[in-house]
Structure 1
Amino acid sequence: MTLTTAQHPLAPLTADEIDRFRSVLTSLGLVGSSVRFAYVALVEPDKADVRAGLSTDRRVSALLVELATAETREVVVNLATGDLLVDRVLGSGAGHAPTFDADFDLGDAIVKSDAGWVAALAKRGITDLENVRTVSLSAGSFDYADEVGIRVTRVLAFYSQYPSDSVWAHPIDGVLAHVDLTNQRVLRIVETDVTHVPAESGDYLDPAVRGPERTSLKPIEISQPEGVSFTLDDNVLSWENWSVRIGFNGREGLTLHNLAFDDHGVTRSIIDRASISEMVVPYGDPTPTHNWQNYFDVGEYQFGRLANSLELGCDCVGDITYLDAVVANDFGYPTTLKNAICIHEEDYGILWKHSDGFAGTSETRRQRRIVISFFVTVGNYDYGFYWYLYLDGTIQLEAKATGIVFTSGYPGGDYPYANEIAPGLGAPFHQHLFSARLDMAVDGPTNAVEEIDAERVAMGPGNPLGNAFTRTVTRLRTEAEAQRVAASDKARVWAVVNTETTNRMGGHPAYVLYPEGQPTLLAADESSIAKRAAFATKHLWVTRFHEDELWASGAVVNQHPGGGGLPAYAGRGRDIDGTDIVVWHTFGLTHFPRLEDWPIMPVDYAGFTLKPHGFFDRNPTLDVPAVIGGHGGAEADHCAHHG
């Protein structure tokens, strides 16, 4: 076959490359009818080679799963030569590949043919199985000896009153099936005394539920009559002084590479690679049918493969540029996700403004940002990830959570672990915790991290009126020291500084991470989820760069007992003071569902901001004009007035 190879070593895999990868594995006898593919991704080349513009062979990795035995093997292929570089079978305690599409149908078939499960539903008044919708969910890792060495799912059920009904309104709670996918059998049925099935409709498209649509909103038109201010060439986005290479893979989804800023003709690096490395949704309901619920949407569900095809006027408004994404399906064949990535510009209010009574001037400039985003649907929830780059050098990541809250049968009374959001319908308390992996390169690869706290100063000879306050700066010198939590009462931030370059005032250029400081993982320290999602117990981790350390909870997450990822990386105790470092930031939401979150949840937001601090010698937006384009006229006088 003729191989169409991507032009740049960091470019996403093409359909031809994925076909080539599968063909090599097939020729080696590694692909059979019951083998499935997971985590098919480019093995990114050495960063130094990329910077030097060296040609490197494209390598592709995957996990191959033999469904009949649950054997999981890691493989890496050199596409140029066809050589199998890695072929390693994972041990039984190393976890399993993520869920496959067919697992949902298989779990459904297994429970509906199990007499015990059918009887449990009958206790709850459900006998018409054709109207039962099951969800086969990642099982976690608990002390069940019969779940070792097999692929396991846990199955909950919901009732559908009619084909387009919102099944989340009708959980058939109080019954849970532990299912062995490998041997296709039910291991056990877990029941509680919750037997009611909530009946009220949650169909938010039904006029009887939503009421008549309002007619009071007038159109808002967003236009750019002279076109956009950015260019996109071979996946490199250039906008104002920014440049960034856009990547995508089936595990993480959107990735950003070689993020840099042109500072008066000098290209200055900031981040080598940025992505959402992992996210976990741990639930806080301790009942036996819900206490196991915690989902790793990256490591267990591969949310890059779940990216939406975005629609103009719905997901993105304005002058939009879309990028398709190519991923591999469960059988190792390429699938194109149309319009998976959205790129556009937004006005963002005031950039800077001042009315000077002495000089008789009044000046205003408008802020603008470029947006790079994608949206995924993982079961009941939908998540948008929006990277913003601003004119003044600010970088921001915003995660948007919407969709439908996971539901249960509300047990009654003042239940302390869920809210009743409709008659008899509960929504368990839970968290959405994300890990951003930021391979920093502030002015180059020699970086360090400083923790900066605001500090009160006691009254005394040096502070006679008690008005003084200052700050403390603490260098985090080892991976053990660099496991930190936010402290809003101290305005705690973390500065990533270049240890070798200086700005015009003699300080070290930096980018400062401003956390939102929401709670970290709330589960008990001894819990299974605390071991498996250890990344979520700290807001900040800093590790020394290693090309194989990409995942906050480890390379293989599904049914893994824990300890992988950041605890293992940071446990090496490496020096991080003035070297190539990776900053891992945990951020997210703690969700106590509201009545207003039902039957569909308005967007909730979480994220973080990176701002330049001494990176530029002065405000980098002094050259932004008062009026953009050639349509100023009298409008220009309103934005820039000289008395």
Structure 2
Amino acid sequence: MTAARPLHTGANPARLRGMTRPHPLDPLTADELIAGRAILADEGHLTETTRFPSVLQVEPDKSVTDRQVRYTLLDTATGQARDILVSLTKHAVLSSEDCGDGQPAFLFEEYDLAASITKASPEWQTAMDRRGLGDRIEHAFCAPLAPGFFGRADEAGRVIRTVTFLRDDESDSPWAHPVEGLIVHINLTERRVLRVEDEGDVPVPPEHGRYTGVPPRTTLKPIEITQPEGPSFAVDGNEVTWEGWKLRVGFNAREGLTLHQISFQDRSVLHRASVPEMVVPYGDTAPGRFWISYFDAGEYLLGKNGNDLRLGCDCLGVIHYFPAFVADDHGHPVEIPRAICLHEEDYGILWKHTDLDGRAEVRRSRRLVISSISTIGNYDYGFFWYLYLDGTVELEAKATGIVFAGAAHTGTKHPHANEIAPGLFAPVHQHLFCARLDVAIDGERNSLVEIDVEGVPIGERNPYGNAFTWKETPLRSEREAQRLADPAKARVWEIRSSERTNRLGSPTAYQLIPRPSATLMAQPESSVYQRATFATRHLWATQYHPEERFPAGDRPNAHPGGEGLPAWTAADRNLVDTDLVLWHVFGPTHIPRSEDWPVMPVDYSGFSLRPNGFLDRNPALDLPSGATEDHCSAHDH
């Protein structure tokens, strides 16, 4: 975590009772994390071997204001884990129960522990010596990876695997030098190696992966972004207002950035929006990769791995930063000083028309950007929420960083991996994000409709063969709402208000506009299919329930599967005229290329929510033209 600062203040939790209470939807503060830990200590829940793999605010039900925190506590001596619910408002433990199937998210300290166990292993050392790499052990990087679930008897409990990479020195990028086929299986609780796999004998790719220090080009001229009168947005605590929009900005250790109570022109659009899970399954059958299927939120925690964003690099313009506080492995607050970036940016033409007399009217678009970035091992993920002047909401996920690679003999034709540098092979994989959209289109009573565009067969309804129309299919239950995108039909999903109509008599509505991409490519019999069933559909919809937050379940780490969306939707609850939650799966399927090395240009994916009959006319007619010589003139050379 970049520049995060631990805050071991030892503050008395009683001071929390004398403070101004945060808004019920605001993120946890440092004082609240200190107070919550003290409550656990007072109640006798903490020992020298207690660790905190997960500390999450329990966001209030829509009628409750109690500030609560759900702690997952792990005893590293026994491997036992418990979920404990603490009320900060009442200064009390409300409940405590053993965790069920699956493991809590990994601790930061377990990454170092896995590396030290690996390097102390005689079997690993022998494997390195056999490959002629014994003299390079000092700077070897043992990457700690979640093991998935394969029902192996010796992998019960808290298990992790490492794969080995080499470095020339501590500053070298290890991802360029994989030691192919060397996998170490570790029991973290017992602090021992379960077994070492040493498959094959492929040379370590020699070419470095350094991507800095390249002489910069000198041909680019500066582009200046200035707002001499300041930004158009206003911030009051965590509440943001901008050009008819109002929302609250949140953050937690698992999801990272969250948005709450989003309204446009004083009308509700979304109660909550976030990306609560993503899965990164690999399509390679090699021993070191067939089991890889990272759940970057549930196994590693997107928020806890959030970046400290810096002016001029991650955002440009007049910026407001929001800090965030997460708990470290010992439950103490850690600050990410600039966890969230808020700014506005130009976005080209919003609307234009040139009249018959030659007079042109044009208005420029701009958007409000709320963003955060997390680094999980080799990959970096940016989450950018955009609000537009016409009432549109958009999410764009930006995947960058360094591709995960293995080794093979140069020139090998591999069915599951491309050679991206001499002897370096990057496997095909997917990044499947799942957005959770607690919609509230003019209130909480909504219904869901699928809309397809389709041609009309030649006949009485289409005598000239040119006709096409649209078809509306109500999605009335949770099973009916398990859908795939279909670009051939221009498929969208419309959320309609049950309480309000527009001036034309139609229900006010928003449409979910997908950017179609592949769903999970793994076979139904596979372990990852069972664990990541949410990724097999582009759309799910559920009736709102406050406990249903994570589409792969609360603990996907080493879980056999079946939790989350497949379990919830088995009830097939009603989706008509009710409080709806939409779950939208999107993201790239990545066949790596040479241009992705040594650092990958951003791969973009996402979706938008667009008003459809929500407004009676174009809401951006009142934008100033901005047609001045300074801003909209041509400069010929």
Establish whether TM, by shorter chain, passes 0.5. Answer: yes
1:56-455 correspondence to structure 2 within 5 Å: 56-91=65-100, 94-128=101-135, 129-148=137-156, 150-206=157-213, 210=214, 212-262=215-265, 267-357=266-356, 361-411=359-409, 413-455=412-454
SS at match of 2:303: helix
SS at match of 1:131: coil
Contact 1:5 1:16 in 2 (8 A): no
Contact 2:308 2:336 in 1 (8 A): yes
| Post-superposition offset of 1:66 | 0.6
Unaligned runs of 5+ in 1: 50-55
Which shifted more, 567-576 or 364-373? 567-576
SS at match of 2:500: coil
Contact 1:152 1:181 in 2 (8 A): yes
Whole-Å separation in 1 of the counterparts to 2:631 and 2:192: 73
Give the letter for the 1:346 counterpart. E
Contact 1:194 1:409 in 2 (8 A): no
Deviations 1:251-304 (A, max 9, x none): 101100000011xxxx10000000001001111111122110110110000110
Whole-Å separation in 1 of the counterparts to 2:57 and 2:35: 13
Change (3 A) 1:67 1:637: closer
Whole-Å separation in 2 of the counterparts to 1:71 and 1:332: 17
SS at match of 1:162: coil
Whole-Å separation in 2 of the counterparts to 1:619 and 1:421: 48
Which shifted more, 566-575 or 117-126? 117-126
Whole-Å separation in 2 of the counterparts to 1:64 and 1:5: 28
| Post-superposition offset of 1:7 | 2.6
SS at match of 2:118: helix
| Post-superposition offset of 1:162 | 2.1
Give the letter for the 2:38 counterpart. S
| Post-superposition offset of 1:168 | 0.5
Whole-Å separation in 1 of the counterparts to 2:193 and 2:550: 32
Whole-Å separation in 1 of the counterparts to 2:487 and 2:119: 51
| Post-superposition offset of 1:422 | 0.8
SS at match of 1:305: coil
| Post-superposition offset of 1:405 | 0.2
| Post-superposition offset of 1:634 | 5.0
**Aligned residues: percent identity?**
51
Give the letter for the 1:400 counterpart. K
Whole-Å separation in 1 of the counterparts to 2:630 and 2:194: 72
| Post-superposition offset of 1:38 | 2.4
Give the letter for the 1:71 counterpart. Q
Confirm whether residue 581 of structure 1 aligns to residue 596 of structure 2: no
1:548-563 correspondence to structure 2 within 5 Å: 548-563=547-562
| Post-superposition offset of 1:83 | 1.8
Q: Please name the residue that 2:5 is paired with.
A: none
Confirm whether residue 15 of structure 1 aligns to residue 30 of structure 2: yes
Contact 2:180 2:200 in 1 (8 A): no
Deviations 1:204-225 (A, max 9, x none): 124xxx4x32111111110001
Q: Please name the residue that 1:27 is paired with.
A: 42
Contact 1:103 1:181 in 2 (8 A): yes
RMSD of aligned residue pairs (Cα, Å): 1.4
Whole-Å separation in 1 of the counterparts to 2:631 and 2:304: 47
Whole-Å separation in 1 of the counterparts to 2:154 and 2:302: 29
Contact 1:532 1:562 in 2 (8 A): yes
Which runs of 4 or more aligned residues in structure 1 lie more than 4 Å from their structure 2 counterparts after TM superposition?
A: 632-639
Whole-Å separation in 2 of the counterparts to 1:194 and 1:368: 55
Which shifted more, 68-77 or 190-199? 190-199
Whole-Å separation in 1 of the counterparts to 2:375 and 2:83: 27
Whole-Å separation in 2 of the counterparts to 1:58 and 1:561: 33
SS at match of 2:127: helix
Contact 2:380 2:399 in 1 (8 A): yes
Change (3 A) 1:636 1:193: closer
Whole-Å separation in 2 of the counterparts to 1:229 and 1:444: 27
Contact 1:6 1:12 in 2 (8 A): no
Give the letter for the 1:104 counterpart. Y
Contact 1:486 1:517 in 2 (8 A): yes
| Post-superposition offset of 1:194 | 3.9
Confirm whether residue 524 of structure 1 aligns to residue 539 of structure 2: no
Give the letter for the 1:399 counterpart. A
Unaligned runs of 5+ in 2: 1-11
Q: Please name the residue that 2:6 is paired with.
A: none
Q: Please name the residue that 1:486 is paired with.
A: 485
Deviations 1:17-42 (A, max 9, x none): 10010001011111111111122121
| Post-superposition offset of 1:48 | 3.3
| Post-superposition offset of 1:585 | 0.1
Give the letter for the 2:138 counterpart. E
SS at match of 1:304: coil
Contact 1:448 1:581 in 2 (8 A): yes
| Post-superposition offset of 1:519 | 0.1
Whole-Å separation in 2 of the counterparts to 1:592 and 1:460: 45
Change (3 A) 1:172 1:365: same
Contact 1:35 1:331 in 2 (8 A): yes
Whole-Å separation in 2 of the counterparts to 1:73 and 1:62: 8
| Post-superposition offset of 1:184 | 1.0
Whole-Å separation in 2 of the counterparts to 1:251 and 1:225: 37
Give the letter for the 1:84 counterpart. V
SS at match of 2:110: helix
Whole-Å separation in 1 of the counterparts to 2:369 and 2:335: 22
| Post-superposition offset of 1:143 | 2.0
Change (3 A) 1:410 1:462: same
Change (3 A) 1:322 1:636: closer
Contact 1:5 1:14 in 2 (8 A): no
1:583-622 correspondence to structure 2 within 5 Å: 583-622=582-621
Give the letter for the 1:137 counterpart. L
| Post-superposition offset of 1:46 | 1.8
Whole-Å separation in 2 of the counterparts to 1:187 and 1:576: 48
Deviations 1:324-377 (A, max 9, x none): 11111111000110111100010100010001105x532000001000001111
Which shifted more, 402-411 or 240-249? 402-411
Deviations 1:138-195 (A, max 9, x none): 11111201212x2000110000112221111100111101111111111112232143
Contact 2:428 2:591 in 1 (8 A): yes
The alignment of Structure 1 onto Structure 2 pairs a total of residues equal to 617
Give the letter for the 1:340 counterpart. A
Q: Please name the residue that 1:52 is paired with.
A: none
Give the letter for the 1:178 counterpart. H
Whole-Å separation in 1 of the counterparts to 2:211 and 2:595: 12
Whole-Å separation in 2 of the counterparts to 1:306 and 1:598: 23
Give the letter for the 1:113 counterpart. A
Change (3 A) 1:464 1:136: same
| Post-superposition offset of 1:57 | 2.4
